[in-house]
Each structure stands twice: as structure tokens, then as C-alpha cells.
Amino acid sequence: MPITRLALPLGDTERPVPGWALRLAKALPFVVLPHCLWRLPFAADFRMGMVDPAAPVAPWWSPFYVVGLSVLTEALALLTTGLVSGWGERLPGWVPFLGGKRVAPLAAVVPATLGGLALVAMFDLYPLAWAGILPEVGFSNGWWMALARVCITPAMLWGPIVLALAWAYYRRRRPA
């Protein structure tokens, strides 16, 4: 399948973006969305069927933390579109002091790679818990456990997607 120049709503890139990278970057916010939505009831101290007798009473700032974490998660997923957009190669003019300057490839690749590796390390623990190798929080019944796993499982792709997009960005931006 040939690589074609794709028009991006956030600005064209200097070199063509592979179609698979563009699709992954646009899909990523939707991939992590179930996990963010699953987390929101915890802001109202609704435990989603989780049974943990040692769980402390939620502090007063817990709702702000949970909602903020979900918003931050979606913001970081949206930020990943910079790896397939023109604004990921040249900073927008409205950025103070740096607007219009070219982004050094490693300035985007290194944080994306480190973030992708951190996400892989963080989410790789879930299958170990589900296999019984690591301890897992208990649920009041199997339906709550199934809901949690259905909502969390897509988020496990976040790290590998970021790593793939960082690799595609590097390949596209490296000197010819």
C-alpha cells in the first residue's frame, strides 16, 4: 500500500504520514476513553463492585483527583496527534518565544518513547494480576470484574500505540 500525502486538520507535514499512523493517532483518544469513563464513578465514592476491606475513606480532594486524572489521560492521548501533525514538526505561531520554530525530532521522539515505555510497564501488570500471578482487588461479583476488564483492556494498547507512533515520527523526520 503506497504512502500518500494526507491532509491533516492541524497542518500538513513535511513528509507523508503513513495511513496506519494517522488512524492510530486519531483512534487513541477513543482507545483510552473506556478506562477514563470507568474511573469517573470513583469520584463519587462509588466503588464499581470493588471489595477492598483495607480501603481507606476517600479524602475530600478525591473527586478532583479522579476527574483530573481522566482529563489528563485524554489530553495526553490527544497530544499524541502531534506525532502525525504539522504542529508536531513546527510549533504554532501563538507559542511564546518558540512559535514558528522547527521541532527537533528527538525533542518529540524521546518523551514519546519514554512515555510509551512507562505506559507499557504500568499496564503490563494487569494481565499478571488477572492470571493470578499478582494480587488483584476483589469484586463483589463476576459482572463487575468483567466490566472492569472490558474497560481497562483497551488502555493496555496505549503504550504500544505511542511507541509505534514515535517510531513512525522518527522514520519520517530523520535526515534522508
Lookup: cell for 89? 514538526
**pLDDT tens by residue, 39-52:** 999 999 898 999 98
Q: Helix (H, G, I), strand (E, B), or coil: what is residue 18?
A: coil
Instruction: Tell me which amino acid residue 113 is.
Output: T
Instruction: Tell me which amino acid residue 111 is.
Output: P
pLDDT for the residue numbered 55: 77
Match 520554530 to its residue by C-alpha cell. 101
* Nearest Cα to Cα of residue 22 among 32, 34, 9, 33: 9
pLDDT for the residue numbered 12: 81
What stretch of H or E contains 51?
A: strand 50-51
Q: 1 pLDDT band (50/70/90 cuts)?
A: very low
Lookup: cell for 93? 505561531
The domain segmentation of the chain, as residue ranges, is 19-173
For residue 52, give the DSSP letter: -
